[in-house]
Structure 1
Amino acid sequence: MKREPGSLSGSIFLVAGTTVGAGILAIPAVTQETGFLASAVACTACWMYMVVTGLLIAEVNVNTMCELGSGGVSLVSMAMRTLGKVGVQIACWSYIFIHYALLVAYVARSSDILTSFLGIPLWESATLFSLVLGSICYFGSQRFIGAANGVLVLGIIGSFTALVAAASGNLQWEALLKANFEAVPMSIPIIALSFVYQNVVPVLCTNLEGDLSKVRTAIILGTAIPLGLFLVWNAVILGSIQDVEMATKVIDPLEQLRSTNGIVGPIVEVFSFLAIATSYIGFVLGLSDFLADLLKLPAGENRPLPYLLTLIPPLILSLLDPEIFFKALDFAGTYGVLVLFGVIPAAMSWSDRYSNSSSSAQLPQLVPGGRFTLCLVIGGAGYVILSELLEKIGYS
């Protein structure tokens, strides 16, 4: 099956749908200690950071497409061209790690929701979820997938609106002024994870035929929608829960809200399922493209093997450990995201722009600021990773 050009609106929905995933469900839990005001600053800063790294990936991807003379260029080809064999190894293992970890989390959580609604065994709901959405990714044209993502995103917005209306009755406005900036660093990995969409940037560049202006628009608008949702979501949850004592601070704010407002539970489940479904589609497309490139399969055609390798392992792992949802999010957010979608994009762009052997210096640059911006991107990711490692060592 040949690829067909995608539309700008479909690309925006693909980015938005991929971004709004399982991470949003964990945001209130990790920002409860920081408070809404500090978490809003952290969310906005993480959004800007992730937009920059996505634009860097798009810039390198289009440059690589121009140099190779073909579309369907994944992170493997980009890393090989800019960072060499060592860079490819780091990129490959980071990419595979984060994608499988998050796909496992998505299948685990969605199967819980389907089992609750349909009353079928966990393995049946997990298989049904993987089969239906995997089939959409494999058999659907780009326009069909874009339309499906559009419908799901509209469903997310609808259920989100209902959730806000149901939960905001108990909103305590003074609670939104709480700000503990000292606790912000520990929340950054999950917040950054919530803004992951970069895995579909190569798909985006191919679908939009390397049009950098359209790619930039799709990335900025596609991530701005989730930013708005995240801020309102966090405000409603953190502003509606009762203050908890230190001894019970580990309670998930979402669970606490469910226990005090019976109508919230079903709406949260619908919202959660739709958010996971859109993100799952984006991650399946991204990982299958990556594996196809890794296996040196012909570009521009769908082959079953990459999709089977993408869909089956997460399905099996989610059934082996049904409690894996938060474990997967924690590991992926702390290390995978900031290496793969923080350090590596800036390193690739640095090599692409400033290497003597590179011919990309004359090509348009999506991110201004030169070496200073790239140093900030690498330094920011390195600081958070180092802080997390020192924190874990301190607890051990």
Structure 2
Amino acid sequence: MSVCVLYKYVCVCACLLWHVKEENAVKVGPRYLDFRCLSFQCMSQSQQQEYEVERLFSNLNQVTLKREPGSLSSAIFLVAGTTIGAGILAIPAVTQESGFLASSVACILCWIFMVTTGLLIAEVNVNTMCELGSGGVSLVSMAKRTLGVAGVQFSCWSYIFIHYALLIAYVARSSDILTNFLGIPLWESATLFSLVFGGICYFGSQRFIGAVNGVLVFGIIISFTSLVVAASGDLHVDALLKVNFAAVPMSIPIIALSFVYQNVVPVLCTNLEGNLSKVRTAIVLGTAIPLGLFLVWDGVILGSVSTPEMTEKIADPLQQLLSTNGVVGPIIQAFSFLAIGTSYIGFVLGLSDFLADLLKLPAGENRPLPYILTLIPPLVLALLDPEIFFKALDFAGTYGVLVLFGIIPAAMAWSDRYSSSSTSIKLPQLVPGGKVTLSLVMGASGCIILSEILENVMHL
């Protein structure tokens, strides 16, 4: 046995020994323990062989110092809960011109697009975790490693913009629902919502937040099922056959916004300890649940408020359904509140982790400052303009989602895969297709953004 081969087996055995002793390991960092096994190259006269051993990242309990592997079911619920948000409430308003069949095609294409960009973020995130030797890697560290200083600045401002815009929309809509239900002033309901759900994010453990998300998603499914049963009695099946593909492009920003979950992908990768198979499963299944809900929701609303003879556009089909069918009103309000609550939790977790990384705070430690910066500005702005809901959604969907969760993930993956300065140790690619797929993602995002800009300029 050559010295090189013997060295390889010694390294493998050492790594396996460390893995067996992981439960009783000594705490190195505040939250994460990193076992590194470097790749070794052995040269022979005819060929070069490279051996790589996977690096292990462990989540450690702060009190017991024992490993707490992430739950796949909790990860799926986190993705599903984050995806099902306020965007679903606006889908019927922007898809009524294109019709149910055309908008269904648009929803499926947007789902494929957003799953692809989420997997690209996960791929770059886990590679960055391996290179930096720690968990809790946010978009800042990913952009700095792959896109440089200019990429960091662009990503930071895009990230902050879209998160604050959507948090403002969530607070505005939820406070309106609570005010109608509890009969309290708007500022009290907005403050109550922010404190309760913000407190869950700050004080709750990973397992507790996962359980809360699971309960909320279960409530969403129950209320959604009740809504479908109550509204399907007035369903006009012929109205669902309307097709107008020319109107589809105008609905894409809101549909894409409805599938936003990528902000929790770094949290997902850390909780699942960089397990690419589990991360892929969580993203695909976690977004497939909202896809089914979106399609049924769109069909029920459009089929209940329109007929084949209708030619005039309805300002908001959801509001018309509320005014014409008193049974579904409370159900829609409950569904809307639960959907907003799950998304609010995901966005608060994502933005607070991002701000903690931006402020260079230790990973894995809950500090109040990131949560204060996350919760207070959206609360104040939502109270200053209670009618900001649709404005925030439209602006965020057009210029935020397609940049931050379209162009930037593909650009980071391109640099990570093909840059000569990147590390030679690479994990398997989560998205196939190479440069063709990455080019299509960036090109499609750019075309939609450009068309929206031209449309807005023409209406000036």
Judged with a 3 Å threshold, the aligned counterparts in structure 2 of structure 1 residues 175 and 360 are, in CA distance, closer, same or farther, namely farther
2:158 alignment partner, SS class: helix
Q: Residues 118 and 283 of structure 2 are in contact (CA less than 8 Å); yes or no, is this contact kept in structure 1?
A: yes
Q: Residues 304 and 321 of structure 2 are in contact (CA less than 8 Å); yes or no, is this contact kept in structure 1?
A: yes
| 1:64-113 CA-partner distances (Å, limit 9, x unpaired) | 00000000000000000000011011100000000000000000000000
Give aligned-pair identity as a percent. Answer: 81
| 1:188-211 CA-partner distances (Å, limit 9, x unpaired) | 000000000000000000000000
5+ residue gaps, structure 1, are none
Q: Residues 353 and 361 of structure 1 are in contact (CA less than 8 Å); yes or no, is this contact kept in structure 2?
A: no
Shift of 1:360: 5.2
Judged with a 3 Å threshold, the aligned counterparts in structure 2 of structure 1 residues 360 and 393 are, in CA distance, closer, same or farther, namely farther
| Cα distance in 1, alignment partners of residues 277 and 180 from structure 2 | 44
- Report the counterpart of residue 41 of structure 1 in structure 2: 105
> Alpha carbon RMSD of aligned pairs, Å?
1.2
* Larger relative contact order (Cα-Cα within 8 Å, sequence gap ≥ 6): 1
- Report the counterpart of residue 115 of structure 1 in structure 2: 179
Aligned partner of 2:77 among 6, 9, 13:
13
Q: Residues 155 and 274 of structure 1 are in contact (CA less than 8 Å); yes or no, is this contact kept in structure 2?
A: yes
Judged with a 3 Å threshold, the aligned counterparts in structure 2 of structure 1 residues 102 and 360 are, in CA distance, closer, same or farther, namely farther
Aligned partner of 2:369 among 281, 295, 305:
305
1:249 partnered with 2:313: yes
Shift of 1:362: 3.4
- Report the counterpart of residue 254 of structure 2 in structure 1: 190
Shift of 1:306: 0.3
- TM-score, structure 1 as length reference: 0.98
5+ residue gaps, structure 2, are 1-29, 32-60, 62-67
1:280 partnered with 2:344: yes
- TM-score, structure 2 as length reference: 0.85
| Cα distance in 1, alignment partners of residues 369 and 102 from structure 2 | 45
Shift of 1:250: 4.2
1:79 alignment partner, SS class: helix
| Cα distance in 1, alignment partners of residues 146 and 395 from structure 2 | 27
- Report the counterpart of residue 263 of structure 2 in structure 1: 199
Q: In the alignment, residue 444 of structure 2 is paired with which amino acid?
A: G
| Cα distance in 2, alignment partners of residues 378 and 63 from structure 1 | 21
Judged with a 3 Å threshold, the aligned counterparts in structure 2 of structure 1 residues 361 and 28 are, in CA distance, closer, same or farther, namely farther
| Cα distance in 1, alignment partners of residues 300 and 387 from structure 2 | 27
- Report the counterpart of residue 87 of structure 1 in structure 2: 151
Q: In the alignment, residue 190 of structure 1 is paired with which amino acid?
A: I
1:209 partnered with 2:273: yes
| Cα distance in 2, alignment partners of residues 35 and 219 from structure 1 | 28
| Cα distance in 2, alignment partners of residues 245 and 111 from structure 1 | 34
Shift of 1:255: 1.1
- Report the counterpart of residue 315 of structure 1 in structure 2: 379
Shift of 1:301: 1.2
Q: Residues 94 and 336 of structure 1 are in contact (CA less than 8 Å); yes or no, is this contact kept in structure 2?
A: yes
Shift of 1:358: 1.0
- Report the counterpart of residue 126 of structure 1 in structure 2: 190
Aligned partner of 1:237 among 301, 324, 332:
301
- Report the counterpart of residue 232 of structure 2 in structure 1: 168
| Cα distance in 2, alignment partners of residues 332 and 205 from structure 1 | 25
| Displaced runs of 4 or more, over 6 A | none
Aligned partner of 1:336 among 400, 406, 410:
400
Structure showing greater radius of gyration is: 2
| Cα distance in 2, alignment partners of residues 131 and 60 from structure 1 | 33
- Report the counterpart of residue 385 of structure 1 in structure 2: 449
1:135 partnered with 2:199: yes
| 1:300-342 CA-partner distances (Å, limit 9, x unpaired) | 1111110110000001000000001001001000000000000
Q: Residues 260 and 401 of structure 2 are in contact (CA less than 8 Å); yes or no, is this contact kept in structure 1?
A: yes
Judged with a 3 Å threshold, the aligned counterparts in structure 2 of structure 1 residues 360 and 95 are, in CA distance, closer, same or farther, namely farther
2:123 alignment partner, SS class: helix
23-32 vs 237-246, greater mean Cα deviation: 237-246
- Report the counterpart of residue 358 of structure 2 in structure 1: 294
1:367 partnered with 2:431: yes
